[in-house]
Amino acid sequence: MNLGDILTPAQIVPELQAKDRWEAIEELISNLVATGRIKAEHREAISGVVRKRETSMSTGIGFGIGIPHASTDLIYEVTGALGRSKAGVNFDALDNQPVTLVMLFLVPQGQFQKHLHTLAEIAKLLHRNEFRKALEEAPSAEAMFKIIKSQSGTKA
């Protein structure tokens, strides 16, 4: 499972309004509700599991990347939302730098291998400088999605 399989253009927020990691997480969860990827009545519970995971250790992995993630029994397939902040979000990242790309993803409870594999694929892709730069410079969610599809092993 790779980034191109998880996202649609509607699940990309090219202009995050968030100032910190908690606001970014809430904004991306709101996107998943708005796009029908998670049920509105599950919003608070899902927010809680993501916050619990994030509290244990920041998922700001450096290079301007944050990958908040969690497992929950409230979803049935891997899903996620990508946000871009041109100003940068305070994410308590490992390198103490602001985060410009936030990839929230959720994995169904009990799918540990899929969770690890998805996390590894996302991190590997986002660690590529030219990929991050292309996403940061893309003019729209649709353009960002095309870049993701072309780079993540799926065809547009």
Whole-number Cα distances in Å, 86 to 42, 57, 71, 153:
30, 24, 28, 26
Residues 6+ apart with CB under 8 A from 41: none
CB 125 within 8 A of CB 87: no
Query: Does residue 42 have an active-site annotation?
Result: no
Amino acid in position 55? T
The residue from 69, 115, 117, 127 that is catalytic is 69
Catalytic residues: 69
